[in-house]
Structure 1
Amino acid sequence: MSRMMKNSRRLLPAALLCCAALAHAQLYKSVGPDGRVTYSDAPPAAARQVETRPLPSAAPGAALPYELAQVAKAQPVTLYTSDKCAPCESARSFLAVRGVPYAEKTVSSNEDIAALRAAGGDAQLPLLTIGRSKEKGYEEGAWNAALDAAGYPKSSQLPATWRNPPPQGAAPRSASKAADPAEKAPAAAAPLSPSPGPATEAPPATGKAPPGFRF
C-alpha cells in the first residue's frame, strides 16, 4: 500500500469529525485588510467586515424571511375576531394557509366593541386591517387582493416553527385597573351590547352571534 493511501486513511476520521462539528456552527464570511474574502467557522482576529450565515445543514429558526419581515413591518396585519363566529374561524384558516403573520384581537366586552368600531367603523366581524386598509367580513377574493396589493407573498414562506403572538383583547385593560376590585364590578355588570339609542343601536344578532356584533 502506498504512503499516500495510508495518509488518506489516517486523515479521513479527522475530516469526518470536522464536518460533524461544522454542522452545528455558523459560517463566517470576512474581508481582510488586503480585501481577501475568506470563510471560516470563527471570525478572524483582523477583519474589517464580518458577515455570519447559517450553514446549509443548520436547522431553520423562527425568524421571518427578510422580504416577508419587511412587508409585515410596513403593512402589519391585524385580525379582529370573537367567539361563536364561524367566519372568524375561516379567516384564521385563510391567513394560516397563505402564510400571513398577524396579530389577533378578540372582542368580548363593551370596551372591545368600542375599539372594534374605532378600527372598522362598525361592529362587523371578522375585521382585517392591512396597514391602513380595512376588509370587513370574510371574503377570500377580496382578502387575497388586499394582501397582494400590500406586497405579501401569494404562497406561504413562514418557517415551520413560526407562531403568531397569542390573541389579546381589542381594548386590553391596564394592569392597575385589572388589579382594582372597585373597577372590576362595574365592568362585569355592564351588558355586552351597546346602550340602545338611535345613534348607537347595533343591528340584531343573527344565529349564534353575541349581542352587538354583525357577521
Structure 2
Amino acid sequence: MADDVPAVLFAATSANKLGSMDTGCWLEEMAAPYYILKKRGFEPTIASPAGGKIPLDPRSTQEGQLSATSKNFLKDNEAMDKLNNSVRTSEVDPDDFVALFVPGGHGIMVDGPKDMKPLVETFAKQGKLVSAVCHGPAAFTEAELDGQPIVKGKKVTSFSNSEEEKIGGTKAVPFLLEDRLKERGAHYHKGEDWSPFVVTDSKMITGQNPQVIPLTLLAIGTPMGAASP
C-alpha cells in the first residue's frame, strides 16, 4: 500500500451463528462501500475479531439478493483474499487508518459490542470518523469515551425494531438494536422501513439498512440528499 493512499478499516463480524441460525456479514454491506471507497482513492483493509475468513450471511448470497456489485465482489480475487484472510481487530493499528466502517448482518450482534469495543473507542478518541450500517452500530453500543457511551447524545440510526419484527428476528437477536442505542443515550432516528436513511452527527455516520451505504458520505463528505435529522 502506498503511504499517500488513505486507508479505511472495515471491521466485520467473525460470528457465523445466532442461536441456531446461520449468519455472518451481509455481503452487499461489505461490497458496495468497498468499491465506493476504492473508486474515490481510499484503500480498504478488512479485519474481524477472530481474523481469517469472514462468514457471509447465506441469505445475502442468494440470487435474489445479489446486486451486480456483490457478484463482482465474489469474483474479485483481491477482494475475496482480503475477506478470507482478514486481520485480527486486536492487531490493527488505528494510526494507519483515517476512518472505521462496520458492515452489518446479524453476526455483528454477537461479537461486535464486546470484541470491537477497544477498536471503536480508539478511533473515537483519535477524533476519526466511525461509520456503520444496518446492524453494524451494534459495535458502538458498549464503546465509551471519557467514561460515557460514545453514542450518548448522538443522533444515530440502525436497523429498526419494526424491520427486525418484519423479518422475524426479534426473538433471535440478543437485544433489539434500536432499543439498546436508546438505552445508551443515543438520539435514535429512523426512516420508513426498507428505505434509504442516513444520520450524520459530527464524526459518526450511521445508515439504517442495506438500501443505503453510509460510507458514500465519508468518501465525498456530503449527505447526498439522505436524511440527517
TM-score normalised to structure 2 length = 0.18
TM-score normalised to structure 1 length = 0.19
Larger radius of gyration, structure 1 or 2?
1
